[in-house]
Structure 1
Amino acid sequence: MNRKLTATRDAKKDVGQKDIRFFTETIDVGRISPLAFFEAGDSCYKNERFYWQNADKTLTLVGIGHAAVLSTNHGEDRYTSISTSWKQLCEALIKEEKDMEPVLFGGFSFDPEVGGKEEWESFPSSYFVAPSFQLTIRDGKTMIAINLITDSASSAEEFDKLREERDRLIHIAQVEEFPVSPKPEVLQIVERKKEDYLKAVSQVTERIQKGEAKKVVIARSIDLHFKEQVPAISALHHITNEQQESYQFGLQKDDHLFFGATPERLIQIEKGKAFSACVAGSIRRGKSAIEDRQLGEELLGDRKNREEHQYVVSMISTVFKALCKSVSIPKTPKLMKIRDIQHLYTPVVGEMEKGIDIFDLVKALHPTPALGGSPTDVAMEVIRELEGMDRGYYAAPIGWTDTAGNGEFAVAIRSGLLDGKRAHLYAGGGIVADSEKEKEYEETWVKFRPVLRALGGKLNG
């Protein structure tokens, strides 16, 4: 009989206890499909799983079960709260040199002032988990770790049970067959508040023309209704198969899967170096190589898109110069081409100042002008007033950090929230002085396409 052998630790009560201990153990497992391992946890850990793969395919993470949950509904203190709780857990870590670093995975809501509404009711302002079973594929090497956070005197017995459960999960992933799920049958696509969106774009454009802001990102959402309940593995399989150039992620909570394939890195920390990416300004892909090149050249020369991109470059470079040293930023953008869209892209690299961690940079960078606007405080007030929806974790930081301080967060665009027989998809665009509402509306359909396609939908807008 399958038994759930892990227990969630409430970080608010347990983190900081003097007698708490954080045990970890790593084994090599040879070749194993990360999605098969994810699916092996379906029967006992359906709402306690996550998936992550970086854009260059050098790192894949799968988490099953909860060794600890760190969450908060604090506003500006939420980054510090998660950082402090994680550092306290890290101080309790007991590991051998051969063991890999345990990870903490999760995300923040876009705006804590409007969080927890509509379909996002069960998602707090921040939600992070340290998994009980952690699969890591790094540069082709596959490892699985057990993580146990406990204050129990019988920790050795607990760990032995976790070893048995780890072996059971590995056996399921390696031996059982997981047929590829067909794409779900979409019964209906519903545009939510389309006219309100178009009205908001017009109002924002007028305000920008009056000098109230330089740029404001306005988003909208659509609902998909399916004939049958959509398994999480189906959504992840199709999005990872179709969006090879992007970061791929999935986070489960309370019968929901927040997932997507985003092209945009927010921040990466590796051995004290910080990496970010300015991604703003977009155009569709061409139907031929010649048209694709022409569209790319048009994007590089387009004043509206270059202006939109420069707002992001200016903001991210300011943050890096404040929190890092030896900052490197190219003077002109290049093209980032993914399956459905082309973006303007400028990489940023810096060496972190002492005492700064990944959550400091996430706090300082979110929201970038690519997802909020410029100036940030003005843009956020306009979004709250006119957008008319709770973005939840859409357009917000999602990612991981480990006990050594390394980590990576992406911006959760090209994303959706799967809820049984429904899915909620989100897309937006930067509004500037010469924006046209119909063109902005059409651009959102291009941005809906990756998740829409993965869930069996077809563009009809």
Structure 2
Amino acid sequence: MSKQLRSTSGTKYFYTETIECEGVSPIAFFEAGDRLYRGQRFFWQNREKTHTIVGIGHEIVIKAQGEDRITTVQNKWNRLKKLVVKERLDQAPLLFGGFSFDSKHSLSEEWRAFSGAFFVVPQFQLEIKNESIKLSINCLTERLDQSARFEELRKERDRLLHVAQVQERPLFEKAIVTEKTERNVPEYLAAVRAVKKEIMRGEVDKVVISRSIELDFEESTSSGAALYYALQEQPESYIFVLENGGSTFVGATPERLIRKEHGRIFSAGVAGSVRRGKDVGEDQRLGQALLADEKNLEEHDFVVSMIQKVIEPLCTELQISTQPKLLKIRDIQHLFTPISGTAKETEDMFAFVEALHPTPALGGTPRLKAVELIRELEQMDRGYYAAPVGFVDAEDNGEFAVGIRSALLRGGKALLYAGGGIVSESEPLAELEETNVKFRPMLRVLGGNRHEL
């Protein structure tokens, strides 16, 4: 019996249909939607490159504001999941999007395209996992007889698939950066000094202070070009793109927030960093120094302890490595501690997202006081930077990463964000230099490496 929901406008049905296909490049499929669906696409690839998702078209959009935005999205998605009508072998429809960092911070004009929470169910959902390629149609409707609508969607699905498989792929060129502006450097240094005073007074243990730089391009840069170079330049990272209208949030982040699959959960503590070496010997020396560095180990321990504290009540059991190891990506080495466990049956993906965000790696500790100081001292709008971005499907499997090493694209401009944890041993100029290192991944992606920081 089909599942349905009675609303003021009628009975709703959430249909999904899946076909298997071969020879489809995910970026080619993303670009197949450029002409008709620009501003309505997303892309996701996990760090291991074992799971890739492309969404084209906005079949359903969920937005929310305020302090209960995570709960609002959770409740709306739970209602939608009950409407799903699919065959056993069809892929579960999924919801993709993100949250702003601070629910109490009014979004600036720069971030106006994205509300406090912005999630979509795509019309066309390409999913590549375990070497299997599946393409789904998702359709929410009030009509029980879907034959005419579905036939239209099938024709459009086949057209997109043909474009992706057959048409010559565009040649992506990195954008030409005409100007690079570092925003609010004196204010950033003052914020670091102010946080150190709060630490000395015993008000906080750690606060993450961030800053931004602005790139101006000779011509508007496309989501497809940013995606292409993110995949090329940062292969060890989660790669994501989220479009809405004329704005695109893009990132190449090393940091998982939470993954949930068949009741198992996987998280990670990632905090403490140093640059990569110019050769193998220097790289190893820098890595070993990081593993022994008191300031970075203290910062890392804050993160791991907090993750354990907030997710342990949501799990029946939890495993945490006793010592951090090194996570090496192209420009940076991080201290990394894997965490895994089994979720209680009553706890869904959004319960873990709400419990974890923001971790001390992106906010600080104690959490509430740290976020208050960020709100007061940073003097900028983080938007979706350092916030959860990812997906969950109708069977409550999914993954969220932390939106760092990221940028907001709007026409001929890009805003890049980077920050670092301020603890008692932090020095303002050293922290400034650390943010310079953290800008490098997205600078490479967007062509800004032509300009020295």
**TM-score (normalised: structure 1):** 0.95
The corresponding residue for 1:240 is 231
- Asked if 1:358 corresponds to 2:358, the answer is no
Q: In the alignment, is the contact (CA less than 8 A) between 1:114 and 1:390 conserved in 2?
A: yes
Match of 1:36 in 2: 28
Residue in structure 1 matched with residue 420 of structure 2 by the alignment: 429
Task: Map Cα deviations across residues 61-111 of structure 1 (whole Å, 9 max, x no partner).
Answer: 000001111111131x11111111111111111100111111100000000
Task: Describe the SS at the equivalent of 2:204.
Answer: coil
Describe how 1:272-351 pairs up with structure 2 within 5 A: 272-351=263-342
Q: Secondary structure at the match of 1:105?
A: strand
- Within the candidate set 40, 45, 58, 2:50 is matched to 58
3-state SS, counterpart of residue 159 of structure 1: helix
Deviation of the 1:180 alpha carbon: 2.4
Between the aligned partners of 2:113 and 2:227, the Cα distance in structure 1 is: 21
Aligned partner of 1:99 in structure 2 is 90
What does 1:169-248 correspond to in 2, within 5 Å?
169-248=160-239
Letter in 1 for 2:289: E
Alpha-carbon contact 1:16-1:85 (below 8 Å) kept: no
Which string of whole-angstrom CA distances, capped at 9 and with x for unpartnered residues, describes residues 199-221 of structure 1? 11111112112211100000000
Alpha-carbon deviation of 1:320?
2.1
Distance (Å, rounded) in 2 between the aligned partners of 1:450 and 1:184: 15
Residues in 2 aligned to 1:227 and 1:435: alpha-carbon distance in whole angstroms: 38
Q: Check whether the contact 1:320–1:350 (CA below 8 A) recurs between aligned residues.
A: no
**Which residue pairs with 1:21 in the alignment?**
13
SS of the equivalent of 1:291 reads helix
How far has the Cα of 1:18 moved from its partner?
6.5
Q: Secondary structure at the match of 1:31?
A: coil
**SS of residue matched to 1:354:** coil
User: 1:341-382: CA deviations, max 9, x gaps?
Assistant: 000000111111121000000000000000000000110111
In structure 2, C-alpha distance between the alignment counterparts of 1:349 and 1:321, rounded to whole Å:
10
Q: 2:15 & 2:113 partners in 1: Cα distance?
A: 30
State yes or no: 1:72 paired with 2:64.
Answer: yes
Deviant stretches of 4+, over 6 Å: 13-18
The answer to whether the aligner puts 1:166 opposite 2:151 as a matched pair is: no
The aligned counterpart of 1:253 is 244
Q: Which of 125, 128, 140 does residue 149 from structure 1 map onto?
A: 140
Distance (Å, rounded) in 2 between the aligned partners of 1:59 and 1:199: 42
Change in CA separation of 1:202 and 1:14 when aligned onto 2, cut-off 3 Å: farther
Q: Structure 1 residue 384: deviation in Å?
A: 0.7
Instruction: Give the letter for the 1:158 counterpart.
Output: R
Residue 390 (structure 2) aligned to one of 387, 391, 399: 399
Mapped partners of 1:230, 1:198: distance in 2: 31
Alignment of 1:371 with 2:362, yes or no, is yes
- 1:172 deviates by 0.7
Conserved 8 A contact 2:408-2:416: yes
Unaligned runs of 5+ in 2: none
**SS at the partner of 1:67?**
strand
CA distance in 1, matches of 2:426, 2:184: 20
* Displacement of 1:424: 0.3
Distance 1:200 1:80 in 2: 32
Alignment-mate amino acid for residue 102 of structure 1: P
- For 1:98, what is the secondary structure of its paired residue? coil
- 1:178 Cα shift? 1.7
Q: Is the 8 A contact 2:113 2:247 kept in 1?
A: no
CA–CA distance in structure 2, aligned partners of residues 438 and 23 of structure 1 = 55
Give the aligned length: 448
Contact kept, 8 Å, 1:274 with 1:349, in 2: the verdict is yes
Deviation at 1:118, TM superposition (A): 3.5
Report the CA distance between 1:14 and its aligned residue: 9.4
Match of 1:113 in 2: 104
The letter of the residue matching 1:445 is: N
Q: Distance in 2 between matches of 1:43 and 1:118?
A: 26
Counterpart check, 1:416 vs 2:407: yes
SS in 1 for 2:321: coil
In structure 2, relative to structure 1, the CA distance for the partners of 1:36 and 1:15 (3 Å cut) is farther
| Alignment check: 8 A CA contact 1:116 1:122 kept | no
Structure 1 partner of 2:438: 447
Checking the alignment, whether the CA contact within 8 Å between 1:15 and 1:85 is kept in structure 2 is no
- TM-score, with structure 2 as normaliser: 0.97
Q: CA deviation at 1:272?
A: 0.3
Does structure 2 retain, via aligned residues, the 8 Å contact 1:256–1:419? yes
Partner deviation per Cα, 1:382-429 (whole Å, 9 max, x = no partner): 101100011000000000000111010000000000111100000000
How far apart are residue 231 of structure 1 and its match?
Answer: 1.2
* SS in structure 2 of the partner of residue 449 of structure 1: helix
Match of 1:49 among 33, 36, 41: 41
Letter in 1 for 2:155: E
Q: Is the 8 A contact 2:66 2:104 kept in 1?
A: no
| Partner residue in 2 for 1:7 | none
Contact 1:103 1:401 in 2 (8 A): yes
Report the residue type matching 1:61 in the other structure.
I
Distance 2:170 2:97 in 1: 28
Paired letter, 1:311 = F
Conserved? CA contact 2:390–2:401, under 8 Å: yes
Asked if the contact 1:15–1:89 (Cα under 8 Å) also holds between the matched residues in 2, the reply is no
CA deviations 1:147-191 (Å, max 9, x no partner) are 001012552211110000000101111111123211111000001
Q: Are 1:380 and 2:371 an aligned pair?
A: yes
